[in-house]
């Protein structure tokens, strides 16, 4: 599906906030991020890109549906969806225009059609993020922990997954 999209001319006025609380975000360098990505496999790199590109948490990544990945009118690609964590209080969908690198990895890693309708599944064909009678499963968190361990062995400073979306 082609999604017509343009930035409004008055975008600065639309997104100028007067009173807001600042968030204490730890700095990290491009070298740190490059070092971490250098030791990542494609799936780990995809999770990092989705965190950076879209500001997604693990639950957001684990719940991306195949039908939420769309083509834009300008030939690019985007994910259009409600945010899982706040969908109960927001009635809108967010559009995240994907970087070429993010889209390429997403296409490569997308699961074949499946009963869940999800874009990404684990190696066993199950959702990457779920709550069920057995508890909570966070495959994205497990993959990021493996990435951090690999980075530490190479002497690369690590970044918590939540830090990526800042």
Sign of CA dihedral 66, 68, 77, 120: negative
Residue (of 51, 74, 79) closest to 64 by Cα position: 79
Which of the two residues, 3 and 19, has the higher pLDDT score? 3
CB 91 within 8 A of CB 84: no
| Least confident stretch, 16-30, 38-52, 53-67, 91-105 | 16-30
Do the Cβ atoms of 10 and 18 come closer than 8 Å?
Answer: no
pLDDT of 133 strictly over 60: yes
Query: Of 70, 78, 122, 121, whose CA–CA distance to 96 is shortest?
Result: 78
Q: Give me the percent of the chain exceeding a pLDDT of 90.
A: 58
- Helical H runs in the chain? 11-14, 30-38, 42-54, 58-62, 100-109, 139-153, 161-164
Asked which of 20-34, 49-63, 68-82, 146-160 is least confident by mean pLDDT, the reply is 20-34
pLDDT at residue 87 in the model: 57
Handedness of CA 43, 46, 48, 51 (dihedral sign): negative
Q: State the average pLDDT over residues 129-139.
A: 88
The residue among 142, 35, 132, 53 whose CA lies nearest residue 94 is: 53
Among 2-6, 26-30, 64-68, 145-149, which stretch is predicted with the lowest mean pLDDT? 2-6
Average pLDDT of the residues of the chain: 87
Q: For the whole model, what pTM was predicted?
A: 0.81
Return the number of other C-beta atoms located less than 10 Å from residue 24's C-beta: 5
Percent of all residues in the chain with a pLDDT value above 70, rounded to a whole number = 84
Roughly what angle, to the nearest 10 degrees, separates helices 100-109 and 42-54? 130
Collapsing DSSP to helix, strand or coil, 95 comes out as: strand
């Amino acid at each position: 599906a082609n999604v017509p999209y343009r930035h409004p001319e008055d975008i600065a006025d639309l997104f100028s906030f007067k009173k807001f609380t600042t968030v204490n975000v730890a700095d990290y360098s491009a070298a740190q991020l490059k070092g971490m990505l250098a030791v990542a496999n494609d799936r780990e790199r995809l999770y990092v890109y989705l965190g950076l590109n879209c500001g997604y948490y693990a639950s957001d990544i684990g719940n991306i549906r195949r039908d939420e990945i769309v083509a834009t009118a300008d030939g690019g690609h985007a994910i259009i969806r409600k945010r899982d964590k706040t969908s109960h209080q927001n009635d809108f969908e967010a559009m995240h225009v994907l970087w070429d690198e993010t889209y390429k990895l997403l296409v490569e890693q997308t699961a074949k059609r499946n009963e869940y309708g999800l874009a990404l599944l684990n190696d066993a064909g199950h959702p990457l993020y779920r709550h069920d009678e057995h508890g909570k499963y966070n495959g994205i968190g497990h993959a990021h922990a493996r990435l951090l361990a690999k980075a530490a062995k190479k002497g690369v400073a690590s970044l918590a997954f939540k830090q990526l979306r800042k």
